[in-house]
Structure 1
Amino acid sequence: MNCSNINIVFNTCAKIDRSLRQKLSSIWYKSYVLGDRTRYFHSSRTICQTQKDDVEVLLSPQEVTVILRKNEFNKDFSHGSVKSYDSNQLQSNDPIEDTRCEAQCKMTPGLLMGVFDGHGGPACAQVVSKRLFKYIAAALLPQELLENYIKQEPRELLIDTFNDRAEIVQDLKFIYDKSFNEYLSKLSNTAKDEIDVKVCLEKSIMHLDEDLSREVVEPFKENGNVNHKTLSVALSGAVACVSYIDGPHLYIANVGDCNAVVGTMTEDNEWVARKITKEHNTENFDELKRIWNEHPDEERKTVIRRDRLLGELAPLRSLGDCRYKWKAEILSEVAVPLIGQKAIPANYYTPPYLTAKPDVYYHRLTPKDKFLIIASDGLWDMMTPLQSVKLVGEHMKGKVFFNPLQLPKKNIQLGDINELLLHRKESLKSKPKDRNAATHLIRHAIGGTEYGIDHSRLAHLLSLSSDVSRMFRDDMTVTIVYFDSEFLRQCPA
């Protein structure tokens, strides 16, 4: 394996045609990268296995850990139903097509956590992660607060994001601000007596998706010009799984094939995985029926082929992906000149074939609910919800040993101290390698076996270049949110 010659290519087993992915990514990177604040616009070189006397040498455990911990992050909270969260990402594609965002609503209560899995390049996922939470936070404002916010000059921030290192370039920021102001105007003209969180989540996602399309089509209709930056966002796509947590109220909005799972402890101290979401793919028969019913009977054999929408797209709902939403005439005028005739999928007769409409779920948190896992399908392809919940549960138990031993302040005998130390020594065997639970899950997803972690497997899979790695695993993004059981115990039923 030659470390000095790393090609940015995407395997045909991915969710969209390779040549289109390459073209869209090329456009995106040439026009979008901005300075040192960018987060995933240029990923680091793949760390290859070292060569010694023509013999391949595996990555050491320390080198493996450096790779796994590169993007980890955690944050603690001092009040509310959320105690803390851990997050991490591990790329397989180069550049990574996943992204994530976490934020606190500033003008209303509630935490927003999201995982976004891109395809056809990273553009759509990156833009959605930067814009969506503002749309949601604005929709959650009561009418009077919304009208006061619109009048503010300058306006205060709607959300406080964590671990946000990316920045939108100025010309796109101008376009996005214009769209957001129009969105605020529409919100203010829609009278609402009370806030329905489910409706807010759905309309925010749908409106942002409409803006991604409109920001390309309207300027083209007005002056015949195509902005390649907004076009690359609209033609690439992203699935999303977003949680909104306000006290004991957990809402999940899901578009595509990411998943959210709640880890619950039973009365018998056993872990139960409560899967909140349901994927929008061909394994979901309700989705297949929905799509078949939306198109003529004569398209039944072409609308879903090879377990993909029009034989191309694996998720059956997503943001962006306007190749499956625009009329063929618009695609011919706007997209074909840029990326060729493949911009129009085969058997494209009755668009739109794709929607960004989310399924929105509600779950009332109880003291038995200990944590929430939100992850892209890169994780769920490698482990079941129950496996992930048990791993996080074991991690919670072992994580306490990262903290120094604290003895009771008084009235303790030497014998008691000795017994305490012996118990701690025995329990230290369960101490995990990683303090961050998201890293713990990713380590087990890649290198886990029924006997524990297989270092050689883990090291080998982390050494592969992106074109080979994509055959074995997808990008992984994991966020784990820990709940405060005592806070939830005191919440009224």
Structure 2
Amino acid sequence: MRLFAARNLARLTSRQSPKYRGSTLRQALLLSGLGLSVLALANADVSGAHLEAQCDARYAPPEVDGAFSVPLEREEFASIAKSRATRLSSASYKANFPIEDKYAVEATDSGDVFAAVLDGHGTASVLGAFLCMFRSSLIVLRWQLAGGWQVSEYARKTLIGNVQKELSYLYKSGTNEPAHGDEKTVPDGRVAAAIQRAFGRTDRDLLAEVASAFKLGFGAVARCGSCACLAYVHEGTVHVANAGDIRAVLGKLGKDADTIVAEPLSSDQNAMVKFEQEKLTKEHPGEANVFTCRHPDSCYVKGALQPTRAFGDFSLKHPEFNGPPYVNGDRSAGRHFSAPYTPPYITATPEVKSHKLEEGDKFLIIGSDGLWDYLSNEEAVEVVKGQASCGNHDLAGRALVERVLQKAAKRYGMTYQELLSLPPGSHRRRRHDDTTVVVLFFD
């Protein structure tokens, strides 16, 4: 089943993360958005609204289809003594079948919080899965059954762990080794470099997984990938690493307590952004098709991919994944890019921004592009502010998803229920994308 009782989910978490067993929070929490789930982590020492505003009827708990109605409540979050991330709300709603969005959250006894949203893309051949059964190759079977959702699932399982490893090496090296249980200050630039190394490790490990399948003739594995955005909250700083078009937006108080303003902590990295177009043109001079635009809102790297940073998509990174010219329509050897072809065109190295949390910083929204297709940064922070002002912090993620669906229904001349009744897959995907959000609240 997609939805778990809190007790069952805690048991599942303990099996998946034995490293973190036994703490106040069972040492960690690890969630993925496979359908829709909502998570609320409440600090026992925190009460009342986070934002100084009266509850407005517009922001009452949203009336949504039953699939949204199961909150997963957790134990108190009091163990994060050094972190300002005391609560979170997360929600994921699928358009594709299977859903290509995933997310993961972990909290440690040391007070660190990690939150990642992943957005997969690309489709592998199901026929290849049956063929590979005769080759007795489980690796091929796994990846041919998958496509983009498997890449995002792979990153969900491995990215945070890789980041923790790199940070552990950083904090324990040289003069940065902890003294008397307290970590000495590490420059933000070194933290950013450690996170970038972790993204690189994740991409290299993924490459090793899919290479054998590609060599056996299953070329679709080189055309699958996943964007990723990770937030790492450590003491009074949030570090945001973004590879692709997932977005992180900070909600902070304006000049008075009744206003909230949006401050982006990430930049969109796709072929529609002028900076990315100029970067591609500079790095690949003479390639007129280094990016192509069907219209201003639909641009692709080498005519194949919108994001300019992502895990996977190895046909745009390594020449050995460029298949030979197609013969009789046979695409089993993978995508073929004719000359000029000078990879890499994209990278998994994220852009990392570090932000010192201030008193007026109230929450961070991390959302897949399905959210931002319909909501501006300002609209998103207003929705979260409204839920928080009513004390409904656990409903913030749900409310964002609902707002997306309401606007999608209006755009396509449908009722809300008509949109919800569409089956996952092409019918739903034509109206909206998978939509996943994680909202971290700061106190």
**Common fold by TM > 0.5:** yes
Tell me the residue number matched to 2:234.
246
Q: CA deviation at 1:77?
A: 1.7
Name the CA shift for 1:233/1:246 in 2 (closer, same or farther; >3 Å).
Answer: farther
SS at match of 1:367: coil
1:315-464, aligned counterparts within 5 Å?
A: 315-327=307-319, 329-332=320-323, 339-340=331-332, 343-345=335-337, 349-399=341-391, 435-448=394-407, 457-464=415-422
Structure 2, gaps ≥5 residues long: 1-30, 37-60, 123-146, 175-185
Contact 2:322 2:335 in 1 (8 A): yes
Percent identity between the two aligned chains: 28
SS at match of 1:95: coil
Tell me the residue number matched to 1:162.
none
When Rg is computed on C-alpha atoms for both structures, the one with the higher figure is: 1
SS at match of 2:271: coil
**Partner Cα distance (1:361, 1:143) in 2:** 18
1:55-454, aligned counterparts within 5 Å?
A: 64-69=64-69, 73=72, 75=74, 76-78=76-78, 79=81, 80-105=83-108, 109-120=111-122, 121=147, 122-142=149-169, 145=172, 196-217=190-211, 226=216, 235-269=223-257, 270-297=259-286, 299-306=287-294, 307-327=299-319, 329-332=320-323, 339-340=331-332, 343-345=335-337, 349-399=341-391, 435-448=394-407
Contact 1:264 1:369 in 2 (8 A): yes
Q: CA deviation at 1:339?
A: 4.9
Q: CA deviation at 1:312?
A: 1.8
Name the CA shift for 1:339/1:102 in 2 (closer, same or farther; >3 Å).
Answer: farther
Q: CA deviation at 1:290?
A: 1.1
**Partner Cα distance (1:356, 1:146) in 2:** 25
Structure 1, gaps ≥5 residues long: 1-37, 45-60, 148-192, 401-433, 485-493
SS at match of 1:140: helix
Tell me the residue number matched to 1:416.
none
Name the CA shift for 1:319/1:370 in 2 (closer, same or farther; >3 Å).
Answer: same
SS at match of 1:460: helix
**Partner Cα distance (2:215, 2:307) in 1:** 31
Name the CA shift for 1:65/1:216 in 2 (closer, same or farther; >3 Å).
Answer: closer
Name the CA shift for 1:266/1:64 in 2 (closer, same or farther; >3 Å).
Answer: closer
Contact 1:216 1:226 in 2 (8 A): no
Q: CA deviation at 1:302?
A: 4.4
Higher-helix-fraction structure: 1
- Could you state the TM-score of these two structures normalised by the residue count of structure 1? 0.62
**Partner Cα distance (1:467, 1:144) in 2:** 47
SS at match of 1:393: helix
SS at match of 1:332: coil
**Partner Cα distance (1:292, 1:123) in 2:** 31
Q: Deviation digits for residues 94-120 of structure 1, max 9, x if unmatched?
A: 1000000001246x5411100000001
* Residue identity matched to 1:443: E
Equivalenced residues, count? 339
**Partner Cα distance (1:77, 1:459) in 2:** 36
Q: CA deviation at 1:280?
A: 0.6
Q: Deviation digits for residues 298-336 of structure 1, max 9, x if unmatched?
A: x12444343111112111111101121121x44438x99
- Could you state the TM-score of these two structures normalised by the residue count of structure 2? 0.68
**Partner Cα distance (2:274, 2:116) in 1:** 26
* Residue identity matched to 1:467: S
Q: CA deviation at 1:353?
A: 1.6
SS at match of 1:141: helix
Choose 94-103 or 317-326, whichever is displaced more. Answer: 317-326
